[in-house]
Amino acid sequence: MSKVKSQHLVLEGLFNSKARVKVLKFLFRNYPADIGAYDLAKRVQEPIELIKRELGDLEEIGLINKV
């Protein structure tokens, strides 16, 4: 697999969810943010279950850290 194709797949996986995009936009705009999942869900207006899943996925790929 070519490097360009590989990078495309990473980006596609990273931005495949509207909720994930909302979370990333919020976190990047408010860095450093010390915010819990419940507050984040309220801020981005998405269900807490979805936000918890997205945060877990972002933590798994190393983009965010749980504190």
Q: pTM for the complete prediction?
A: 0.72
Phi-psi region of 62 (alpha: psi -120 to 50; beta: other; left: phi over 0): left
Alpha-carbon gap, residue 48 to 32, rounded angstroms: 21
pLDDT one-digit tens code per residue, 39-61: 999 999 999 999 999 999 888 88
User: Beta strands of the chain (E only): which ranges?
Assistant: none
Is the Cβ–Cβ distance between 43 and 26 less than 8 Å? yes
Please check whether residue 51 lies inside any domain of the structure. yes
Please check whether residue 6 lies inside any domain of the structure. no
Please check whether residue 66 lies inside any domain of the structure. yes
Confidence of residue 21 (pLDDT cuts 50, 70, 90): confident
User: In the structure encoding, which two tokens stand for residue 26, read together?
Assistant: 């919020």
CATH number at residue 22: 1.10.10
Q: How many domains in the chain?
A: 1
Alpha-carbon gap, residue 29 to 39, rounded angstroms: 15
